[in-house]
């Protein structure tokens, strides 16, 4: 073999090994999401967008756990654009955010988008600092439960619902019968309990904050704001629900300064979801098309008059 050919083969081998090493380094250097090369302190930027449900809670918490275990990440920015959603999933995210702060000692900074209301505000409460745009919609501290009653429709159609039950409240919330006075008291007690949990979360995370004369000194002060109404970011700041006015870029700069990072900070973000639908997605039932074909009608019926759901959600 000629020396020139041997040199070319050797050079190609070195290039391939170099590219392989760079790929391995990139994976190890960025296990938690997308970002650039380099070492030092990092900031994770985690979007929380849309109505909060069990699927969202599972996805958001997966990243919160990853960021908690990554020692290079010193702060997490939650970019919240959500009207809230189901009570339990909101509480699941809230607990993981609190764990990230209390156990993993990460700084938690919130940046509100268009809306961070009800459950969207609930998950922001443990944050060290909350940023909002002057016209971001926030607040809506409260609980709502609603469904549709089909009783008169069944009577019109000459249909009759038959129920066997083991206790007075087993079918409370059934769409085929009217609520009794005891049913109403029972549901109201549940809602009041969940409401108290929300108020407590706000007070625990925000106590003492607010402009002079508007500080959240006790839960009674929180309850004055917790009648379900929403506030702009500017009014929320006045009342202690928000710390600073600014957009996402302001939040990133603040967080970098808080960590002592000079220059452009390294941002770690979840990888973007792959667009489009492959044949494998269709076969495995992972596409939105399959969801439309198999899940939408039962879900619509359930939302209309099925299982009673309790929500921290701005309607």
CA distance 268 to 75: 10
CA distance 109 to 127: 6
Task: Kindly give the pairing relationship between strand 244-245 and strand 129-132.
Answer: parallel
Query: Around Cβ 287, how many Cβ atoms within 10 Å?
Result: 17
Nearest to 143 by CA among 17, 293, 311: 311
CB 83 within 8 A of CB 314: yes
Cα torsion angle, 68, 72, 74, 76, sign: negative
- DSSP conformation letters of 23-63: HHHHHHHTTTSB--S--S-EEEEEEEES-B-HHHHHHHHHH
CA distance 268 to 30: 8
The separation between CA 221 and the C-alpha centre of its own chain, rounded to angstroms, equals 26
Query: Around Cβ 176, how many Cβ atoms within 10 Å?
Result: 17
Give the catalytic positions in this structure.
118, 170
Helices (H), 174-308: 181-206, 219-225, 233-238, 248-259, 279-284, 288-294, 296-305
CA distance 119 to 129: 17
The separation between CA 130 and the C-alpha centre of its own chain, rounded to angstroms, equals 15
Nearest to 42 by CA among 110, 95, 107, 103: 107
Q: Would you mind telling me the total number of residues written for the chain in this entry?
A: 315
């Amino acid at each position: 073999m000629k020396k020139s050919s041997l040199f070319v083969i050797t050079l190609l081998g070195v290039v391939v090994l170099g590219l392989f090493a760079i790929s391995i380094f990139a994976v190890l250097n960025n296990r938690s999401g997308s970002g650039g090369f380099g070492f030092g302190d990092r900031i994770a930027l985690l979007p929380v967008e849309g109505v909060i449900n069990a699927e969202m809670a599972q996805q958001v918490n997966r990243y919160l756990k990853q960021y908690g275990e990554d020692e290079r990440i010193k702060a997490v920015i939650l970019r919240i654009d959500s009207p809230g959603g189901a009570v339990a999933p909101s509480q699941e995210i809230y607990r993981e955010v609190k764990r990230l702060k209390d156990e993993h000692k990460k700084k938690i900074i919130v940046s509100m988008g268009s809306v961070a209301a009800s459950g969207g505000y609930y998950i922001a409460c443990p944050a060290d600092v909350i940023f909002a745009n002057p016209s971001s919609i926030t607040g809506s501290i409260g609980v709502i439960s609603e469904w549709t009653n089909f009783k008169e429709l069944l009577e019109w159609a000459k249909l009759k619902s038959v129920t066997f039950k083991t206790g007075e409240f087993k079918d409370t919330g059934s769409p085929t019968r009217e609520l009794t006075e005891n049913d109403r008291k029972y549901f109201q007690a549940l809602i009041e309990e969940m409401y108290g949990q929300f108020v407590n979360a706000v007070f625990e995370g925000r106590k003492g904050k607010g402009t002079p004369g508007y500080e959240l000194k006790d839960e009674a002060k929180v309850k004055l704001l917790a009648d379900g109404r929403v506030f702009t970011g500017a009014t929320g700041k006045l009342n202690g629900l928000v710390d600073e006015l600014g957009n996402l870029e302001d939040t990133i700069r603040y967080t970098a300064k808080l960590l002592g990072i000079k220059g452009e900070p390294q941002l770690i973000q979840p990888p973007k979801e792959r667009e489009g639908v492959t044949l494998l997605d269709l076969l495995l039932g992972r596409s939105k098309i399959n969801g439309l074909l198999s899940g939408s009608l039962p879900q619509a019926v359930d939302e209309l008059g099925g299982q009673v759901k309790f929500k921290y959600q701005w309607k």
